Amino acid sequence: MTTSNATSSTPSSGGGNPLVVLDPTAGKSAADLQPAPRPASLSGLTVGLLDISKPRGSVFLDQIESHLDRLGAKVVRYRKPTFTKPAPVDLRHEIAVNCNAVIEALAD
């Protein structure tokens, strides 16, 4: 019946606090990061457009979206909460899971 806010953290998958683990490796080497294979065409491809939230960027991306749509891609729009920090890890995960390709724009 204590009202302590010192909660015990139970590692959970899905819901609750995100799990933090320690990196068991010596650190990523450049050799590990290879670009994914290129798709043959845009037709049927799910392309994420990630707006980094700088002003004017959304107008640009609206036009890009209409081009990609015309070329047969399925466009999904995303938005970073702020351009001053890296995209939140949950947003990155969602994009990685749902999209075949992602365009991040527009930095200036």
List contacts with another protein (CB under 8 A). 1-9, 11, 13-16, 18-30, 32-33, 35, 38-42, 45, 47, 52, 54-57, 59-61, 63-64, 67-68, 71, 83-87, 89-90, 92-94, 97, 101, 103-108
Q: How far is the CB of 98 from another protein (least distance, A)?
A: 11
| 31 DSSP 8-state letter | G
Q: How far is the CB of 78 from another protein (least distance, A)?
A: 14
One-letter identity of residue 96: A
Choose among 54, 49, 32, 44: nearest CA to 95. Answer: 49
Choose among 48, 44, 93: nearest CA to 72. Answer: 44
